[in-house]
Structure 1
Amino acid sequence: MAINFNSERLSADDNQVFYFDQLDGDELLSTDELSSLISQHQGHELMHRYNRLRKYYVGQHKILNKPRKRPGKPDTRLVVNFAKELVDNEVGYFAGTPVKFDYVENGDSNEEIDKQINEFVDNNNLTDVVAELAKQVDIFGRSYLLMYQNEEKQTRVAPVEPRNAFVVYANTVDAKPLFGIYYTTRNKNNGVSGMLYTGDFVYNFQGSNGGAITIDTETATENLFKAVPIIEFYSNVERQGLYEQVIGLIDAVDEALSNKNNDIEYFSNTIMKVINAKIDQKTMDDMIDKRVIVVPSINPEKPVDIDFLNKPDADTIQENFLDRAIDMIYTKSNVANFQDEVFGTASGTALEFKLQAMSTAANMKERKFKMSLSKMWRLGFTVGATLPLDPTGRQANNIQMTFKRTVPHNIQDEATTAKALQDVVSRRTAISVLSFVDDPDAELKALEDEQQEAAKRSQQMMSLADDESDSDFNKGDAGDGATER
């Protein structure tokens, strides 16, 4: 997909990522360059690709747009929405269990910073935002997170579809984000308005259909994040969606199932043939009413032939094709088929092997997401509004992000593993193996509290036993004295 700009400073790679040759550190995009970027993003095949992927997710498949057959012929249009199933299953597996964020510095937690992080997560519904980003990445191949300060001067985040935003990177090895563009179509005439983000300022811009875009430099506001606050999320550098490579197979399954339904309708309306017989409409109606066929032969030497026109049956071929095509849809998208009988009968180890490809793809996606989420935390700490102020970014590096896969667990096996691990790793690491433990630190504290309480009770019981022993001893002394007297 070639993208051509009207500026020598702008370029794009094969993955539709935009780059800018920055000559001066304070250099801003010209209005022509911004217009060219938005034009290529909005009117090029890139937007057509995004819209196509979105349509498949909501069930608007290619078969619905095929030319209609002439009246009287079966023309079924069945849509089996594998695209939505693949995305929903993968997102549920990857982010169905909320991501956990902990602040750990030199092996120790900080309750005060942890509290601020939890407030940031709760106020922004960050776990849901991560799930929405994961869904958009699976659909479009990429998504964006927009950071901003609200009217109460609180740091907020919001997921943005790639149809409304993009980032322009420096044409250097480190590919530093130089500009972030967020825009919307204002009206049916394709007029646009939006915001241009740089590392220092935020500019408003607007433009009409066919006209140049105007950047309002006079009302520019300071960018408190000191970096482009639009962060790109993706699961692979090619920016390919989860089902993008299997759309052809999805179309084939839609076509095959529609044809099978057409065959059913054909057999329900099979045409009767009558050969070597004379029959009029009244006789035909009478036979239909009485369900008896009696017709005279035109040629006595030849028998009357009454039968149905039979269409060749390709049911076996169709079934074999559907089985193979459906299996390849799951295989090539690296998503497990949860309708498979093995998920209801297999052991934990067998399930792990069944989910191996899906788990590997999720691990790769997790690494990419952690990179982008780390950028979010660093920007949040730079502002110091909701989160602590730390322009160095060191505190942001101490945030641990834990993704848990949403799968059935064998608690007994996990408990055995955790017990065995206590001899070779820390108790916290051993406890973290247990899938039902959301907060290993809290669990460790609860264990310590229980042990202290048990030790306290044991000490009290020992003290009570000692008191009773001393009492019995004193009673014995008193009894001996009475005997002597």
Structure 2
Amino acid sequence: MAQVNNFERGIGLRGSSQFPFSIQSNINYRVSSIDDLTANNYALLAKMIKHFFDNQIPRLEVLDQYSKGLNSEIYNRPNRQEENKADYRRAHNFGKIIAQFVAGYSTSVPVKYSVTDEKQQKTVDDFNSLNDIATLDNELMYDVAKFGRAYELQYRDGNSQNNVKLSNVFETFVIYDNTIEKNPVAAVRLVQVQNLQSTGVTQYTISLYTDNRIVTFKNITDQVGSLSAIDETPHFYNGVPIVEYNSNRYRTGWYEDVISLIDAYDAVNSDTSNYMTDVVNSLLVISGDFQAPEGDGKQSGVSKLINNIKQYGVLALQSGSDRNGNKTSVDAKYINPEFNSTASENYQQRLYKDIFTLSNVPNLADESFSGNASGVAMRYKIFGFEQAIAQTINSFKRSLGLRYELLGNLNSNLSGGLSTAESVAVTFTPNLPYAVSEEVQMLTDAGIPLSRQTMYDQTHFTDATIEESNLAKEKEEDLDESEPINNVKFDSDKGDEVDGGQE
């Protein structure tokens, strides 16, 4: 097909349904203005949608498969030609491990959002609570780690609630302008329609989001063809209400660069499994002068001998005699394929190490990640990862800023509540283990006092507010705080509390 004009040729990955991907599989769609999309009955938009179907979705499908252990290379490799040979396909979901670590490290501890104005802070807090923002942020980061991109859609429902939800990467893309700022011009959502007629033709609903309206088109197939607008609905976000999140400027997934290593690891592990199975089914060689058992009409003597070996695991042979009447010798042994298990294991371990090293994700199964390692030592082990995750978090912050800018625009247009909205400060807290007891001990040894509130906050079995309330209640009831609770006994006959210190 003719190349869609004004596409950004970013440094991309290489595209078909198999790795390596083509450059076309990860380009950004760009136009001079919204007029380019609407001209000639949305002809350019139709080309972009067709390009998205043909070039971008296949890459996303492969990356999604590698996060689910459905690694395409190992499952698509040719079958073994020899009969009765094992043909295992061992796939390893390194993609899932890497993506989960990225999302867990950056967003398992909820992101903090703060505004200096109290009224605006309440608006942000209410919005976050309504939409379970902590979960949404984690889902977005997981998609970013998998695909290098993620999308969210902001909308206002029939109950006048401001909502934001994850938008599927297989159904969404954003179109940018050609300026150096790379501002979003529009976004597209194409959602598959359930085909109730079972005609074999998949239909999609198409929606185009601009900075002031939503255009809905007549359903199309994946062949696209022409677009026919059937409805337009205004919105009040003063911007495209679909926000894109990127892992970095190239939109590469966190395990995309190591897919070839994952394929190699799958291959050598599968070959090892095949060898171990083939050893059990090794070829038995019988040499010498022996007499096979007599056939029974259904099978020959040799076939009967082979079946007896398989069934009973015992080989009993009768040797012949030479011209002098002496018994001749008979020998039987298995022929096994030569296999250097040590070299294979070393190769697997090298691949395993390279996958984590080159993806910049620490291998937590490494013995060096021991529980008694110091905090400084642990930070050095994840130093490379922290350099890489900084790019993703910085890009994520920019998109989060757009989320709350849209919210501010909407509230300003509808009620004037945030007409001078401040930018929202975003704080990420890494999800890392900390030696809290060591830090507390260090402060107390230095003579630095800690509040009871802070001390309570370090525990996992109580809440500071509840605990203070319980202490106040016990004080009002004149309970001796120094008396251990285990010393309080009850009279088994009367059910009355008695002093545990008296007989």
State the TM-score, normalized to the length of structure 2: 0.75
**SS at 2:390's partner residue?**
helix
Aligned counterparts of 2:415 and 2:268: Cα–Cα separation in 1: 55
Q: Deviation digits for residues 74-111 of structure 1, max 9, x if unmatched?
A: 11111111111111122111211111222236xxxx2x
Structure 1: stretches of 5+ with no match in the other structure: 454-485
User: What is aligned with 2:29?
Assistant: 18
**SS at 1:342's partner residue?**
coil
User: Does 2:348 correspond to 1:326?
Assistant: no
Q: Following TM superposition, by how much is the alpha carbon of 1:248 offset from its aligned partner in structure 2, in angstroms?
A: 0.9
Matches within 5 A, 1:393-472: 393=421, 395=422, 397=423, 399-415=424-440
User: Does 2:169 correspond to 1:162?
Assistant: yes
Aligned counterparts of 1:123 and 1:146: Cα–Cα separation in 2: 15
Contact 1:203 1:220 in 2 (8 A): yes
User: What is aligned with 1:344?
Assistant: 370
User: Does 2:289 correspond to 1:272?
Assistant: no
Aligned counterparts of 1:260 and 1:310: Cα–Cα separation in 2: 14
User: What is aligned with 2:147?
Assistant: 140
**Which moved further from structure 2: 363-372 or 278-287?**
278-287
Contact 2:289 2:328 in 1 (8 A): no
Q: Deviation digits for residues 32-65 of structure 1, max 9, x if unmatched?
A: 1111111111122x11111111111122112122
User: What is aligned with 2:481?
Assistant: none
Aligned counterparts of 2:149 and 2:66: Cα–Cα separation in 1: 16
Aligned counterparts of 2:264 and 2:148: Cα–Cα separation in 1: 23
Q: Deviation digits for residues 445-473 of structure 1, max 9, x if unmatched?
A: x9xx99xx9xxxxxxxxxxxxxxxxxxxx
Contact 2:290 2:330 in 1 (8 A): no
Q: Which amino acid aligns with 2:397?
A: K
Corresponding residue to 1:353 among 347, 371, 380: 380
Aligned counterparts of 2:293 and 2:103: Cα–Cα separation in 1: 62
Q: Deviation digits for residues 401-430 of structure 1, max 9, x if unmatched?
A: 22111111011454478789999xxx9xxx
Aligned counterparts of 1:276 and 1:60: Cα–Cα separation in 2: 50
Q: 1:435 to 1:93 in 2, by over 3 A?
A: farther
Q: 1:422 to 1:87 in 2, by over 3 A?
A: farther
Q: Deviation digits for residues 298-357 of structure 1, max 9, x if unmatched?
A: 767974332211211221111111000010111111111111122233222211111112
Aligned counterparts of 2:190 and 2:123: Cα–Cα separation in 1: 32
User: What is aligned with 2:417?
Assistant: 389
Contact 1:116 1:387 in 2 (8 A): no
Corresponding residue to 1:363 among 381, 390, 395: 390
**SS at 1:368's partner residue?**
helix
Aligned counterparts of 2:331 and 2:192: Cα–Cα separation in 1: 68
User: What is aligned with 2:3?
Assistant: 4
User: What is aligned with 2:228?
Assistant: 214
Aligned counterparts of 1:192 and 1:369: Cα–Cα separation in 2: 30
Aligned counterparts of 1:205 and 1:290: Cα–Cα separation in 2: 71
Contact 1:206 1:214 in 2 (8 A): yes
Aligned counterparts of 1:368 and 1:97: Cα–Cα separation in 2: 18
Q: 1:290 to 1:95 in 2, by over 3 A?
A: closer
Corresponding residue to 2:94 among 75, 82, 91: 82
Q: 1:304 to 1:230 in 2, by over 3 A?
A: same
Corresponding residue to 1:38 among 28, 35, 49: 49
Q: Following TM superposition, by how much is the alpha carbon of 1:22 offset from its aligned partner in structure 2, in angstroms?
A: 2.4
Q: 1:290 to 1:322 in 2, by over 3 A?
A: closer
User: What is aligned with 1:195?
Assistant: 207
User: What is aligned with 2:263?
Assistant: 251
Aligned counterparts of 2:36 and 2:379: Cα–Cα separation in 1: 50
Q: Following TM superposition, by how much is the alpha carbon of 1:29 offset from its aligned partner in structure 2, in angstroms?
A: 7.9
User: What is aligned with 1:241?
Assistant: 253
User: What is aligned with 1:472?
Assistant: none
Aligned counterparts of 1:135 and 1:82: Cα–Cα separation in 2: 14
Aligned counterparts of 2:357 and 2:416: Cα–Cα separation in 1: 45
Q: Following TM superposition, by how much is the alpha carbon of 1:26 offset from its aligned partner in structure 2, in angstroms?
A: 11
**SS at 1:406's partner residue?**
coil
Q: 1:114 to 1:436 in 2, by over 3 A?
A: farther
Contact 1:231 1:372 in 2 (8 A): yes
Corresponding residue to 1:295 among 318, 330, 347: 318
Corresponding residue to 2:76 among 50, 59, 65: 65
**Which moved further from structure 2: 201-210 or 69-78?**
201-210
CA RMSD of aligned residues (A): 3.6
Aligned counterparts of 2:411 and 2:7: Cα–Cα separation in 1: 35
Structure 2: stretches of 5+ with no match in the other structure: 13-26, 295-300, 473-503
Contact 1:243 1:333 in 2 (8 A): yes
Aligned counterparts of 1:196 and 1:437: Cα–Cα separation in 2: 50
Matches within 5 A, 1:81-120: 81-104=93-116, 110=118, 112-120=119-127
Q: 1:102 to 1:233 in 2, by over 3 A?
A: same
Contact 2:37 2:44 in 1 (8 A): no
Contact 2:206 2:219 in 1 (8 A): no
**SS at 2:370's partner residue?**
helix
User: What is aligned with 1:55?
Assistant: 65
User: What is aligned with 1:317?
Assistant: 343
Q: Following TM superposition, by how much is the alpha carbon of 1:208 offset from its aligned partner in structure 2, in angstroms?
A: 3.0
Aligned residues: 423
Q: Following TM superposition, by how much is the alpha carbon of 1:277 offset from its aligned partner in structure 2, in angstroms?
A: 2.4
**SS at 2:152's partner residue?**
strand
Aligned counterparts of 1:435 and 1:13: Cα–Cα separation in 2: 51
Contact 2:111 2:428 in 1 (8 A): yes
Q: Which amino acid aligns with 2:126?
A: E
Contact 1:165 1:181 in 2 (8 A): yes
Q: Deviation digits for residues 204-252 of structure 1, max 9, x if unmatched?
A: 1124334311123xx3222210111111101111110111111111111
